[in-house]
């Protein structure tokens, strides 16, 4: 039962009696729907539990039930405030729906109470309601952030936990993120991310993660000192904290200025992320690889990932059966394969065959793009690497797949062939495989990139610095008139193209074929 206390206010005695009578009526009304029980509930010492018979028939968000709760909420009697707050917490735990100001105003009033019990229950109720999209916006619009920030500064762990949890929910809506960043909430959130209480730490790091989805908010987080906290928590024993921090850092390092800052202040970042790629949690492994991918946009990190022994873990992820892991690992390897010093270590670590296998990964176009782009990067500056890639069967796979894959993948595949065709030692092998047949077809692709790459590959195959009498150019003769008009139609299209680059490629290719020591006998009637 509720225990009523005397009301202390500056109102006249008659008003006090009237208010007290209103409270008595409210208690009587509320007791029709609730029974008071002594039970633990999400950190509160007691809660008001809905009668089973009324649970599905009573609407506590309008009418007399809400009116009764509102009266108790605005009472000067702290016991009545506690009862109202606990009732709101219990009700919103069982049901969440869009609510109006008439529901939120009493909860926000309770949130500003000096009583710890009221604070805990009110912030829990608000956090429950903040799961709903409409409520998220209205809570912030009605000024809910200010009392929540005060509660985050509370010495009481339960109050901190519920307040931060509510902010975490509010921060999932894009329209709230900037308002939260400008409200002064980031500094206490960053401080609470170091809390010894794991629930507080999870909520705080989750809130920080939710704030990393825009450039402006990321900068606000950096200014609030979040980076060293997030980096230190990568070594947390809690999987959720690891995931939140890894994902937050992955978002933060999208910005070049933040990568530069991290390079100067966080020397253990890469090694920590490399270790997390071996986490028992798949989602942590995935986010660690994505964070490393974003870091590998910079040359310094491209080298550092290899030096930190990231290759072995990435190779394992690349051969996983779990698509998100494959995708994140392939994207990461693609980025740091850009650096010439990483080409040989990647090949020597056994990446070639898994990358070639991923060319046929038809379930995901992005995986195919990452794989073929990596092969092209690996071939870029080393004759030895080009030979290794061809020996591993890359050209055969490309020839079999290139006409069937999406256009973006075609573009990357033809670009890779063009790079491999720069090798004098490989030209004959590539021609013997019959690569000209597919390249000629692709010079008429709807994509100008595919057209240009295919033509460049044919030009590279026709060009040789030192020619020998044994050089065989019959592959060009075989495709002069077919398929699809063959070399003849391709050269004609490019010579008459309004694109000067296409004209140049055609003229250059014809010139090289004319210098083929007579082994190319195509009739140049264009």
pLDDT tens sequence across 445-482? 999 999 999 999 999 998 866 555 556 678 888 888 88
Nearest partner of 375 among 363, 358, 362, judged by Cα:
358
pLDDT, residue 45, reads 34
- Element holding 475 (H helix, E strand): helix 474-478
Domain extents for the chain? 24-34+58-183, 425-465+472-525
Nearest CA-CA partner of 110 in 98, 122, 95, 127: 122
Nearest to 200 by CA among 247, 145, 248, 159: 159
> Which pLDDT does position 399 carry in this prediction?
95
Spatial separation of the C-alpha atoms in residues 96 and 90, rounded to whole Å: 11
- How buried is residue 367: exposed, middle or buried, by Cβ count under 10 Å (0-12/13-18/19+)? buried
The CATH number given to 24-34+58-183 is 1.25.10.10
C-alpha closest to that of 103 among 77, 120, 124, 125: 125
Residues of the chain below pLDDT 70: 1-58, 464-472, 516-526
The pTM is what?
0.83
What ranges in 171-281 are assigned the alpha helix state H? 174-182, 186-192, 198-210, 215-223, 226-232, 239-252, 256-265, 269-276
Looking at residue 198, its pLDDT comes to 96
pLDDT score of 30: 64
Give the model's pLDDT for residue 46: 36
What are the tokens at 55?
A: 């649970």
Q: How many Cα atoms sit within 13 Å of 510 on the Cβ side?
A: 17
Structure tokens at 176: 């709230």
Those residues with Cβ within 8 angstroms of residue 429's Cβ, 6 or more apart along the chain or in another chain? 390, 395
Question: Pick from 391, 396, 436: which is nearest to 418 by CA?
Answer: 436
């Amino acid at each position: 039962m509720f225990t009523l206390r005397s009301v202390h206010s500056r109102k006249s005695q008659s008003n006090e009696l009237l208010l007290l009578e209103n409270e008595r009526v409210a208690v009587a009304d509320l007791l029709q729907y609730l029974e008071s029980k002594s039970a633990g509930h999400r950190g509160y010492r007691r809660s008001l539990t809905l009668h089973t018979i009324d649970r599905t028939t009573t609407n506590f968000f309008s009418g007399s039930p809400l009116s009764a709760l509102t009266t108790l909420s605005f009472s000067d009697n702290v016991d009545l405030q506690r009862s109202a707050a606990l009732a709101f917490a219990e009700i919103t735990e069982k049901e969440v729906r869009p609510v109006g100001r008439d529901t939120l105003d009493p909860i926000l009033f309770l949130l500003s109470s000096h009583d710890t019990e009221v604070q805990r229950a009110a912030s829990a109720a608000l956090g429950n309601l903040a799961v709903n999209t409409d409520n998220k916006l209205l809570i912030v619009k009605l000024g809910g952030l200010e009392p929540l920030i005060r509660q985050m500064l509370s010495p009481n762990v339960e109050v901190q936990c519920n307040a931060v949890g509510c902010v975490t929910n509010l921060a999932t809506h894009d329209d709230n993120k900037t308002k939260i960043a400008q409200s002064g909430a980031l500094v206490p959130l960053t401080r609470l991310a170091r809390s010894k209480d794991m629930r507080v730490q999870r909520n705080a790091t989750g809130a920080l993660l939710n704030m990393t989805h825009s450039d402006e908010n990321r900068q606000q987080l950096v200014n609030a000192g979040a980076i060293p906290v997030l980096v230190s928590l990568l070594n947390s024993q809690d999987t959720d904290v690891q995931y939140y921090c890894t994902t937050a850092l992955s978002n933060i390092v999208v910005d070049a200025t933040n990568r530069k800052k991290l390079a100067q202040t966080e020397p253990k970042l890469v090694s920590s992320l490399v270790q997390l790629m071996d986490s028992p949690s798949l989602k942590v492994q995935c986010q660690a690889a994505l964070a490393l991918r974003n870091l590998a946009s910079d040359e310094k990190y491209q080298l550092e990932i290899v030096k930190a022994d990231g290759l072995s873990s990435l190779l394992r992820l690349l051969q996983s059966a779990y698509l998100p892991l494959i995708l994140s690992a392939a994207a990461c390897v693609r980025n740091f394969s850009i650096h010439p010093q990483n080409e040989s270590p990647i090949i020597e670590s056994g990446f070639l065959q898994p990358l070639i296998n991923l060319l046929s990964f038809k379930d995901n176009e992005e995986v195919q793009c990452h794989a073929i782009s990596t092969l092209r990067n690996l071939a870029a500056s080393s004759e030895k690497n080009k030979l290794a890639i061809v020996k591993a069967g890359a050209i055969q796979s490309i020839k079999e797949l290139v006409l069937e894959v999406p256009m973006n993948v075609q573009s990357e595949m033809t670009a890779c062939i063009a790079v491999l065709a720069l090798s004098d030692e490989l030209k004959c092998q590539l021609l013997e495989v019959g690569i000209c047949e597919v390249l000629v077809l692709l010079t008429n692709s709807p994509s100008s990139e595919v057209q240009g790459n295919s033509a460049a590959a044919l030009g590279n195959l026709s060009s040789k610095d030192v020619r020998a009498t044994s050089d065989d150019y019959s592959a060009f003769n075989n495709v002069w008139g077919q398929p699809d008009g063959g070399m003849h139609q391709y050269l004609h299209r490019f010579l008459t193209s309004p694109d000067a680059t296409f004209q140049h490629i055609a003229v250059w290719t014809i010139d090289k074929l004319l210098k083929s020591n007579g082994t190319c006998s195509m009739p140049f009637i264009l």
